Structure 1
């Protein structure tokens, strides 16, 4: 048996999402049935201080010889890094990713990929120019649950998908939780608002079920109609967006299909937080597939067919297991002992692509990431929402 290939990661930024990703990354892939690759962290960088990077390495259980850097410049110069994971706010993704690509580093960049489609296109062009791997880290796409849902669709069990309803909303009480207006969820300087942070998951479910499952040679971009509600205190972020999409298809493929993607800071997909109502409903003439919240980390599906068949599945996240003393979660939340958060699946895909020589992700290529950014651009255009020029620009470098 061939020994697993070890991919050496550098972590750019040390906030909450970086902590969750890195802890998941260091879980032995064999615990999830992955045997051809392994992961290690060789360096992490904080833009604020080297000591913060040192603490991050310690908190996430990185190898003792991993290097801590107090600047991103030092990180990208490290010759031992195979892949950089970018964990900054999406307002900074374009500048950070371009910086890494210019330095010759392969990149896995957190969602939303960029602030707008022009930036996403520029990154894709740079990656192609440099012959580097580049992928948007939409972790949900790589869950076995998501693979199962897409396989149900392509198998034809519910017939051609006619309609998708997808919501990712959280009742956050933004005036109380983010009262200074500086939090990334509402701060226009960080491209704040529901759309780019939460709505990306609603659109992810629409696209992975109603676009990605169509033959690549025939699928077409959707027409978009949107309504956007501005967040009052800042007037420059959305607190709610509703998007109606029409996907053109041939009569033989079922004709045009519709989708409604919604997101909100102020109301919740499941008000009691117990996931009792499906956040995603994928409907065809022979039945529907339900996915229960949260949309970004679902663990339950339900297939309901017209003939009365009902198939329910629970999807636990693997990890070191009970009794391991290991925990992960996000932003203060904690999963059951030994249960991973689910970010290792996207890391496995990025590593596998490097081993196979691919330059983009298998379940969401760069063209699809760009298309979704174009949809969000159109939502913002129709809603009259723009961000400061310094984070919308494709100029590089720009100091943020």
Structure 2
């Protein structure tokens, strides 16, 4: 049996999402049945200080010889890095990803990919010119649960999907939680608002079920109608957004299909954390697939068929297991002992692509990431939401 290929990661930014990703990354891949690759972390960078990067590497259990950098420019010059995971706010993704690509590094960039489609296209063009791998880190697409849902659709089990409802909303009490207006969720300087941070997951479920499951040769962009409610305290971020999408489709494939994608930072998909109500409903003439919240990290599905049969499945996240003393989590919450968070699936895909020489992810290529950014551009246009020019620009470099 061949030894696993070791892929060397650099982590750009050291906040909460970077910590969760890196702890997952360093879990033994065989605990999730992956034997052809193994991950290691060789460097991390913090824009605030080298000390912060050193503390991060220690906190996540990185190898002792991993290097800490106090600037991103120094970091991308590290010849030991194969691929960079970018974990900054999406307002900074374009500048950070372009820096990495210019330095010849493969890139896995957190969602939302960029602030607008023009930036996403520019990154894709740069990656192609440099012959580098580039992928938006929409982790949910790589879950076995998501693969199962797409397989139910492509197998025809519920017939051609006719309608999808997808919500990802959180009652965050923004005036209390983000009272100073500086938090990335509401700060226009960081491209704040529900759409880019939360709504990307609603659109992820719409696109992976209604668009990605169609033959690549025939699928077409949707028509979009949107309503956006601005967050009054900052006046330049959305607090609640509703999107209606109509996907053209040949008559023999079921004809036009509709979707409603919703998001809010004022109200919750399921108040009080009650997860008994499906946040995602995928409907066809033969039945319905339900996915239970949270939309970004679901662990339960229900298939309801026209004949009355019901198939319920739980999808626990793998990991080192109970008794391992290993923990991960996000945002102040901690998963059960030994239970991974689920970010390793996208890391496995990115690392596998690097080893194989592929330049895009299997379950969301760059063209689809760009199309979703175009949809969000149109939503913002209809809602009259713009961000400061310095974070909308494609000019590189631009100091943020």
**Which residues in structure 2 correspond to 1:359-374 (within 5 Å)?**
359-374=359-374
Matched, 1:131 2:131: yes
What whole-Å deviation, never above 9, does each CA across 1:60-83 have from its counterpart, x for those lacking one? 010011011111111100000000
What whole-Å deviation, never above 9, does each CA across 1:292-344 have from its counterpart, x for those lacking one? 00000000000000101100000000001001111100011100000000000
Q: Which aligned segments of 4 or more residues in structure 1 are displaced greater than 4 angstroms?
A: none
Match of residue 378 from structure 1: 378
Match of residue 273 from structure 2: 273
Match of residue 144 from structure 1: 144
What whole-Å deviation, never above 9, does each CA across 1:335-375 have from its counterpart, x for those lacking one? 00000000000000000101111000000000000000000
Match of residue 317 from structure 2: 317
Matched, 1:155 2:155: yes
Deviation at 1:107, TM superposition (A): 0.2
Q: Name the CA distance, whole Å, in 2 between partners of 1:331 and 1:196.
A: 18
Q: Name the CA distance, whole Å, in 1 between partners of 2:43 and 2:371.
A: 33
For the residue of structure 2 that corresponds to 1:272, the secondary structure is: helix
**Which residues in structure 2 correspond to 1:199-238 (within 5 Å)?**
199-238=199-238
Q: Name the CA distance, whole Å, in 1 between partners of 2:333 and 2:109.
A: 23
For the residue of structure 2 that corresponds to 1:260, the secondary structure is: strand
For the residue of structure 2 that corresponds to 1:42, the secondary structure is: strand
Matched, 1:59 2:59: yes
Matched, 1:24 2:24: yes
Match of residue 197 from structure 2: 197
Q: Name the CA distance, whole Å, in 2 between partners of 1:256 and 1:339.
A: 41
Matched, 1:244 2:244: yes
What whole-Å deviation, never above 9, does each CA across 1:64-103 have from its counterpart, x for those lacking one? 1101111111110000000000000000000000000000
Deviation at 1:274, TM superposition (A): 2.4
Matched, 1:12 2:12: yes
Q: Name the CA distance, whole Å, in 2 between partners of 1:3 and 1:219.
A: 40
Q: Name the CA distance, whole Å, in 1 between partners of 2:336 and 2:132.
A: 37
What whole-Å deviation, never above 9, does each CA across 1:103-126 have from its counterpart, x for those lacking one? 000000000000000000000000
For the residue of structure 1 that corresponds to 2:379, the secondary structure is: helix
For the residue of structure 1 that corresponds to 2:330, the secondary structure is: coil
Deviation at 1:35, TM superposition (A): 0.6
**Which residues in structure 2 correspond to 1:258-269 (within 5 Å)?**
258-269=258-269
CA RMSD of aligned residues (A): 0.4
What whole-Å deviation, never above 9, does each CA across 1:156-206 have from its counterpart, x for those lacking one? 000000000000000000000000000000000000000000000000000
Provide TM-score, normalisation by structure 2: 1.00
Q: Name the CA distance, whole Å, in 2 between partners of 1:315 and 1:390.
A: 42
Q: Name the CA distance, whole Å, in 1 between partners of 2:69 and 2:354.
A: 25
For the residue of structure 2 that corresponds to 1:242, the secondary structure is: strand
For the residue of structure 1 that corresponds to 2:323, the secondary structure is: coil
User: Any stretches of 5+ residues in structure 2 without a counterpart?
Assistant: none
Q: Name the CA distance, whole Å, in 2 between partners of 1:64 and 1:33.
A: 26
Match of residue 308 from structure 1: 308
Match of residue 93 from structure 1: 93
Match of residue 354 from structure 2: 354
Matched, 1:80 2:113: no
Q: Name the CA distance, whole Å, in 2 between partners of 1:274 and 1:41.
A: 37
Q: Name the CA distance, whole Å, in 2 between partners of 1:170 and 1:272.
A: 10
For the residue of structure 2 that corresponds to 1:228, the secondary structure is: strand
Match of residue 3 from structure 1: 3
Matched, 1:288 2:309: no
Provide TM-score, normalisation by structure 1: 1.00
Match of residue 328 from structure 2: 328
